[in-house]
Structure 1
Amino acid sequence: MSSILALHPITRRSLLSGAAAASALILLHPFAARASANQAHLRIMETTDIHVHVFPYDYYGDKPNDTLGLARTASIIDAVRAEAGNSFLVDNGDFLQGNPMGDYMAYQHGMKDGDVHPVIKAMNVLGYEAGTLGNHEFNYGLDYMFKVLAGANFPYVCANLTKGQLASDPKNDELFFKPYTIVEKTITDGSGAASELKIGIIGFVPPQIMLWDIKNLEGKAQTRDIVEAAKAWIPAMKEDGADIIIALSHSGIDGSGQSERMENASLYLAGVEGIDAVFTGHQHLVFPGPKSFDGIEGVDPVKGTLLGKPAVMGGFWGSHLGLIDLLIEKDGKSWKIVDFTTEARPIYHREDKKVVADVPDRADILSAANAEHEATLAYIRTPVGKTTAPLYSYFALVADDPSVQIVSNAQTWYIRDMLKDTEYKDLPVLSAAAPFKAGGRGGADYYTDVPAGDIAIKNVADLYLYPNTVQAVVITGAQVKNWLEMSAGMFNTVAPGAKDVALLNTAFPSYNFDVIDGVTYQIDLSQPAKYDGDGNAVNPGSNRIQNLSFEGKPIDPAQKFVVASNNYRAGGGGKFPEITSDKVVFAAPDTNRDVIVRYIIAEGTINPSADGNWSFAPVKDATAVFDSGPKARGLIADVKGVKIEDAGDGADGFAKFRLVL
C-alpha cells in the first residue's frame, strides 16, 4: 500500500475542526479589507526548522504524528494566501537534516546531478520565493549542500558565510551566497490597482557552525558576526531600491546582552537601522506566544515585536506557520509600513491531553516526496542486531539509563580500538553521553522506547538523533569533575526538608546533561549549580559532584583521561568549562550513530543494562517532582538505585513523578 494512503487518517472530529478553521481562514485579514487606494496588505509567511519533516510521520517511532510535517503546514498556506491582499513565502533554514529521511538521502541515496531532494521538491511545489541557511545544512558537507540547493526554484541568501578569511570590510568578504536578494513583486492596493514593490531579503546563519561542523568547514569557510554583517549590507539594499527589508535570521532570541559572534542574535539584529521585520528560528520555540520570552527587555511576546519591529518564530518540524502582516502605504515612489500584526499559526491543538490535527495533509506535497518516504521506511526497518533488554529514556534525567548506557558502551569500544596503537593507548577511556529524547519541548511522546528483541536502524537513530561524529579529548581528573558539575546544572536546588520541588531546570537542554561512564559519582542537589548555562562559575565554591571515583578510589585531579564524546561537545558546544577543540586528540570520520550500529553488529546481541555509576546523594526529608511520558508509570519498578512515585498528571499530556531523596 502506498504510504500516502497508509498514513494515519484524519478523524471526522479533526476534519470538522480543520473545516471550521478553513472556513474562518477565508475571511480577509483586516489590513486587506481596510487598505485604501495608496495602501496594500502584504502577508509574509515563514517556515523554519523543518528538519526533513515533509510527511506527518515519526520515523524514529515508525508511526504517524499529527504535530509535524510540511504537508500539514502546506495545507494552511493556500487559505492563508486567500486571506491576504498579497503574500510572500520564505524559509528560515534547518531543512536538510533532522530525521532518518535526511540520513537516507545523504548516506544511501546520495545526490546525483539532476536529483532534487524531497524537501526541495515540496518547497518548489509550494512556491517559496527565498530562503536562508540553518546550521544543520552543513552537517553532510558543503558539496552535498550545494547539490541539494541546486534543485531549488528560488534563491538562497546568506550574508555572514564567507569562503575564506574575513575582510576588513564585510562588503569585501568573498561569500558563498548572495548576501541578499531583492524580489520585485506586483502587488494590488486597496483600490485594485497594481503597483511594483521591491522586497529585500537578507539571511544569516549562526557563526557557531565553525565549531559544530568544523570537520566540514575548517579551511573552507568562515563566519562573521550576524549584526556586524547586517550593518554592512542593509545600506546596500537600500541603495538597490528595497522598499521593505526582511531579515531571515536562523538565530534565536537572547536578551542577555549583545556580544560578539552571538548565537541567538535576533533581538539585536532587529535594532539594525533599515530592517523592517525579522523572521527568527533555531531555538525550536514559538513567537509571539507566552512563557518562552517573557520578561526580556525589548521583547513583546504578546504583540510579537523585537525592539518594536514585527518578528515571528514559526515553531519547528512544520508545527506552525509564521505570519507577519504588513499594512504598507505608498510614500512618493516608495513604500513604508504603517501597521503590522504577527502570528504563529499551529497545525494542531491539544484537547483532553490528546493531539488533534487542525488541518489535513496537502496531497501534492505528499506525492512530491512519496518515493523517498517509502525508501526511508525500508531503510529504517533494517535489523542490525538484538537487545536483551528494552532501551528507553523515560527516566534518563533521574537515574542511570539504558538508552544512554548503550551509546557510552559503543563510544568506549570504538575509541579504545582507534587509540590502541597511539601514544594515548595506556590512558583510561571514559565516555560522555547525554539523553537526546527526554520529553521537554518535544512533548510527552518524545522519548526513546525500543523493546527487547531486534534492533533496526530506526532504533539507532532514535538512540542518537544527530549525525555528530565521534571525537575524543584528553583532560585531567579535575576537568572531568567540572564537566560533571556543568552537567549537574540540569537540576534545581533541593534544600533539606523541601517537598515536591521542581527537579529539572527547564532552561537546561537535556542534550547537555552528560553522563560520564567509567567513573562513579553522586549529585548533591542541596548545593547550588556551580556553573550557569554559559559555563560561568556563578557558585565557585559549590561541589554538587560528590564521591567521584575511578576504579574504586577517589579520582586523582591530575590524572589524565581520554573521554569519548562528539564533535559538538569536543568543539565547545554547550560551553562546558575547559572542554574546547584544543583538547581533541582524535577526530573520527564516523558518526556516533554509525559507531553504535557497528557496535551492535559486532556484538550481535547486546545487554544495555545501566551500570548505576551515578545517583543522587541523599537530601534529608526532601522530595522533588519531574515530568515524563505516561508510559513511564509501568516502568517505575525497573529503575534501580532511586525511589520514584507516581504523582499524578502533568501538563500537556505528561505524567508527573515524585523523586524521594
Structure 2
Amino acid sequence: MADSPSVHLSRRAFLSGTAAGSALIALHPYSAFAATGQAHLRILETTDLHVHVYPYDYYADRAVDTVGLARTASIIDAIRAEATNTLLVDNGDFLQGNPMGDYIAYERGMKDGDMHPVIQAMNTVGYDAATIGNHEFNYGLDFLLKSAAGAKFPIVLANIATRAGGNPRKDTTLFKPYAILDRMMTDGAGNMFPIKVGIIGFTPPQVLNWDRKNLEGNVTARDIVATARAYVPEMKEAGADIIIALSHSGVGSADESEGMENASVPVAGIDGIDAVVTGHSHLVFPSETFADHAAVDSAAGTIHGKPATMGGFWGSHLGLIDLMLERDGAGWRVVTSSSEARPISQRGEDRSVTPLVEDNAAVIASIAKEHADTLAYVRRAVGKTSAPLHSYFALVADDPSVQIVSIAQKWYIGQMMQGSAYEGLPILSAAAPFKAGGRGGPEYYTDVPAGAVAIKNVADLYLYPNTVRAVKVTGAQVKDWLERSAGMFNQVTPGDSDQPLLNPEFPSYNFDVIDGVQYRIDLSQPSKFAPGGEMQNPDANRITDLSFDGTPVAPDQEFIIATNNYRASGGGAFPGAMGDTTVFEAPDTNRDVIVRYIVEQGTINPSADGNWSFAPLPGTSVLFQTGPQARSYMADLRGITIQDAGDAADGFAQFRILL
C-alpha cells in the first residue's frame, strides 16, 4: 500500500533500493545539501491518464510497455525516495479515453457509493490533489460527481461554476476552487516545520462548447487567467506559503487573450504562483518542442521564470518540479528550482520499446476485476467486415476507417431527418481519422482485419464518446469547411521533388473528409486557414472541382452534414459548425451508431469510394510518414500514385506521392 500524503511530505530518504530492489537511489542534490532552514519539496505530476491504469492497449487487445499508471507508479515510488518532501498531483483527463472508461460509463454505470477504477488506482498510489480536465465532462455531471466522490484526495477546479457571481470569488464552483494542504516539512537538519501548500486547478473554458449537451444550463465557465488572478490573493490571505497551479491547459501563446484554451504561459506569469503543472496537449515539458515559445525556457524548464512540467499522456512520463525552499520568517519561499519529465519506456533505433520500470503490483491488483470486465466488454462481436479497416493512409487518400464512420453517420441522420422540416435536403457526412500516428507513435493507427468486428474495433474506429449532431449549411460553408480541413497540408512548389506534405501543427482529428460530395485539393495553393482555424489567406482556393451528384456545388445550395457534438459546437473552428447551425442533437453516441449500423448490415463493405484526391501537379512529389504496416495496404489505394520511400525516424515508414 502507498504511504499516506502526510508521510510523503515528512520522509527523510538516503540511499535505498528501488521498487524492484535492483539499484540504489541517491538523494536529489537539493535534499542532500539542504541546510538548516532549507527544505527540498518535489512535486510529482501525472496528466491526461485517460483511464490508462493497466499497461494494456484495449483497442489492440494486447499488453504494451508505453502506457499505464501501474508503470508510472513504480517511478513514483522510486522518485519519492530521492526527495525529503514530496507531493503527488494529477492534472486532469483521467475519467475518459479508453474502453475501460466507456465500460464503466455505459455498461456498469456509477451509483452513489460506487468506486471508479481510475479513482481506486489513484487512491492506491496516494495522490495529494488533482484537478479536472475537459474530458471529465464527457459522460455528464452526475457521472463525474459520483466518480470524484470516491477520491481520498482533494479535487480542485476554479473556473467552472454552478452559479456565477459578480466575480470569480463570488462563484459557486462545481468543485472547490483551491485547497490549502497543511503539511510538515523536514529541513536539511532534520527539523520539522509546518507549511501550507496552495493547490488551484483550471480547465479550458471551451468545455461549454465541447460538451454543450451535458453542461448547457448547468454550469458556466470563466477565463482561466482572470480566474487565477482573482483567487491567488485569497489563497495568500488563507495562509498559502507557496501556490501550485494545476493547469489542464497547454503551453501556448504568451499573449493573453480572453477565453484562451492553452493558457499556461500567462498563468505562470501571475504574481504569487510559484509552480505550474500543465497538460491537455499530450506533450512533454521540458522538451525541445517548446524551444521557440515566448516566455518559455525549454532547457531550464521554466515559464516566465517559474518551474513547470508536463508529463506526457496515458502515464507515459512523470512530470517533476524540484523546489528548494527557505524559511522566511514564519513561512517559506522558493529560492531555486529545476524541472524534468521522466519516461516509463524508451524507443531504440531499431524501433523496439524498452520498459524502464515494472508494474506496481498494488495498482494492478486494485482494479483487476474491472480490467477483466473490460476485456470481456471489448471482445464482443457485433458483425463482420468484408475488407480491412485501417487508417494508415487516412491523411492522404480516401480511407476505409473514415469511410465506415461517414456511412454510419449518414445512415443514422437519414432516418432522423424523416418527417422533419429538413427532410429532402441532401445529407453529407463529415468524419476525421482519430488514430493517425503523429504524437501517438508509429503503432497509433486503426488496423482491423477482414472478418469479425468487435466492440473493441468500433472503439478503435471512433476514439471519443461523442454524440451525433446534424448541421444545416450552405454550399459556400461546405467549401470553407473543406478549406479548413485542407490546412493539414503544407503548400508545395510545382515541379519540386520530395517536399514534406503534412503540417505537424495540424491535428489529424481536424482533418475532416466530407462524404457525399466530390472534390480535389490543390496543394500549390496556400491554406486559407491557420492550424488554429484563424483566417490567414482569404483569397486562397485549395478546394477545386467541388460537386454533388456530378453537378458543381452552388454557394447558396443547402445541405445537412452529419457530424459530432464536438465539431458542431465549434470544436476546431470550422465554418458552418460554430454552434449556430445545429438542427438535430442525437441522444446516441457516434460509436453506438456505428455498432447499430454494423449489426443491421451484418457484413459491412468499408471500401473507400475515392470521393476526394489531390489535384494533379505534374513533375511534383511529396513525402509523408505513416506506420510500417501501411506497406501491406498500398495496393488497395485508389486515385493516388504512391511509392515506398524507406524508413523514417522514430519507427515510422516514409512514402512518396507523385502528384
* Bin for the TM-score computed over the shorter chain: over 0.9
8 Å contact kept, 2:487–2:530 = yes
SS of alignment partner, residue 649 of structure 2? coil
8 Å contact kept, 1:407–1:596 = yes
CA 1:238–1:24 in structure 2 vs 1: closer, same or farther (change >3 Å)? farther
1:638 is displaced (CA, Å) by 1.2
8 Å contact kept, 2:30–2:40 = yes
> Which of 391, 404, 412 lines up with 2:402 in the alignment?
404
In the alignment, which residue of structure 2 is the partner of 1:206?
Answer: 204
Q: Deviations over 1:37-67 (max 9, x none)?
A: 1100000100100000000000011011111
Gaps of 5+ in 1: 1-17
1:177 is displaced (CA, Å) by 1.4
C-alpha separation in 2, matches of 1:112 and 1:231: 37
Q: Deviations over 1:410-450 (max 9, x none)?
A: 00000000010101001000000000000000000000000
1:620 is displaced (CA, Å) by 2.0
C-alpha separation in 2, matches of 1:476 and 1:112: 45
8 Å contact kept, 1:59–1:380 = yes
In the alignment, which residue of structure 2 is the partner of 1:591?
Answer: 589
> Which of 480, 487, 490 lines up with 1:489 in the alignment?
487
> Which of 296, 300, 305 lines up with 2:297 in the alignment?
300
> Which of 333, 336, 351 lines up with 2:333 in the alignment?
336
The percentage of aligned residue pairs carrying the same residue is 64
| Residue 522 (str. 1) matches residue 515 (str. 2) | no
C-alpha separation in 2, matches of 1:86 and 1:382: 47
1:634 is displaced (CA, Å) by 1.9
SS of alignment partner, residue 77 of structure 1? helix
8 Å contact kept, 1:533–1:575 = no
C-alpha separation in 2, matches of 1:457 and 1:22: 40
> Which of 628, 631, 641 lines up with 2:629 in the alignment?
631
8 Å contact kept, 1:21–1:358 = no
C-alpha separation in 1, matches of 2:109 and 2:543: 46
1:542 is displaced (CA, Å) by 1.1
SS of alignment partner, residue 575 of structure 1? strand
1:270 is displaced (CA, Å) by 0.6
1:528 is displaced (CA, Å) by 0.8
C-alpha separation in 2, matches of 1:531 and 1:330: 52
Map 1:432-443 to 2 at 5 A. Answer: 432-443=430-441
In the alignment, which residue of structure 2 is the partner of 1:259?
Answer: 257
Greater Cα shift, 71-80 or 529-538: 529-538
8 Å contact kept, 1:118–1:372 = yes
1:304 is displaced (CA, Å) by 0.7
In the alignment, which residue of structure 2 is the partner of 1:416?
Answer: 414
Amino acid at match of 2:598: I
Map 1:178-327 to 2 at 5 A. Answer: 178-255=176-253, 257-290=255-288, 292-327=289-324
In the alignment, which residue of structure 2 is the partner of 1:128?
Answer: 127
Map 1:104-123 to 2 at 5 A. Answer: 104-123=103-122
8 Å contact kept, 1:202–1:247 = yes
Amino acid at match of 1:169: N
SS of alignment partner, residue 532 of structure 2? coil
In the alignment, which residue of structure 2 is the partner of 1:347?
Answer: 344
In the alignment, which residue of structure 1 is the partner of 2:604?
Answer: 606
In the alignment, which residue of structure 1 is the partner of 2:55?
Answer: 56
1:167 is displaced (CA, Å) by 2.3
In the alignment, which residue of structure 2 is the partner of 1:463?
Answer: 461
8 Å contact kept, 2:19–2:78 = no
C-alpha separation in 2, matches of 1:573 and 1:523: 23
Amino acid at match of 1:138: F
SS of alignment partner, residue 484 of structure 1? helix
> Which of 377, 380, 383 lines up with 2:378 in the alignment?
380
Map 1:532-551 to 2 at 5 A. Answer: 532-551=530-549
C-alpha separation in 2, matches of 1:19 and 1:557: 66
Greater Cα shift, 438-447 or 536-545: 536-545
8 Å contact kept, 1:131–1:155 = yes
1:115 is displaced (CA, Å) by 1.6
Amino acid at match of 2:129: A
8 Å contact kept, 1:25–1:79 = no
CA 1:618–1:557 in structure 2 vs 1: closer, same or farther (change >3 Å)? same
C-alpha separation in 2, matches of 1:256 and 1:268: 6
Gaps of 5+ in 2: 1-16
Q: Deviations over 1:582-628 (max 9, x none)?
A: 10000111100000000001111111110000000011211100111
SS of alignment partner, residue 155 of structure 2? coil
In the alignment, which residue of structure 1 is the partner of 2:477?
Answer: 479
Amino acid at match of 2:134: N
| Residue 94 (str. 1) matches residue 93 (str. 2) | yes
Q: Deviations over 1:385-413 (max 9, x none)?
A: 00000000000001000000000000000
C-alpha separation in 1, matches of 2:589 and 2:616: 38
CA 1:350–1:21 in structure 2 vs 1: closer, same or farther (change >3 Å)? farther
8 Å contact kept, 1:304–1:311 = yes
In the alignment, which residue of structure 2 is the partner of 1:5?
Answer: none
Amino acid at match of 1:338: V
C-alpha separation in 1, matches of 2:513 and 2:326: 57
SS of alignment partner, residue 588 of structure 2? strand
Amino acid at match of 1:142: L
Q: Deviations over 1:309-332 (max 9, x none)?
A: 000000000000010000000011
Q: Deviations over 1:550-570 (max 9, x none)?
A: 000111111100000000000
8 Å contact kept, 1:22–1:79 = no
Q: Deviations over 1:617-648 (max 9, x none)?
A: 01121110011111111211111110111111
8 Å contact kept, 2:498–2:622 = yes
Amino acid at match of 1:246: I
CA 1:83–1:604 in structure 2 vs 1: closer, same or farther (change >3 Å)? same
CA 1:193–1:575 in structure 2 vs 1: closer, same or farther (change >3 Å)? same
Greater Cα shift, 577-586 or 419-428: 577-586
In the alignment, which residue of structure 1 is the partner of 2:9?
Answer: none
Amino acid at match of 2:379: R
> Which of 539, 559, 562 lines up with 2:560 in the alignment?
562
Amino acid at match of 2:66: T
1:535 is displaced (CA, Å) by 2.3
The alignment yields a C-alpha RMSD, in angstroms, of 1.2
The total of aligned residue pairs comes to 642
SS of alignment partner, residue 369 of structure 2? helix
SS of alignment partner, residue 406 of structure 2? helix
In the alignment, which residue of structure 2 is the partner of 1:7?
Answer: none
In the alignment, which residue of structure 2 is the partner of 1:148?
Answer: 147
Q: Deviations over 1:270-300 (max 9, x none)?
A: 111100000000000000011x212111011
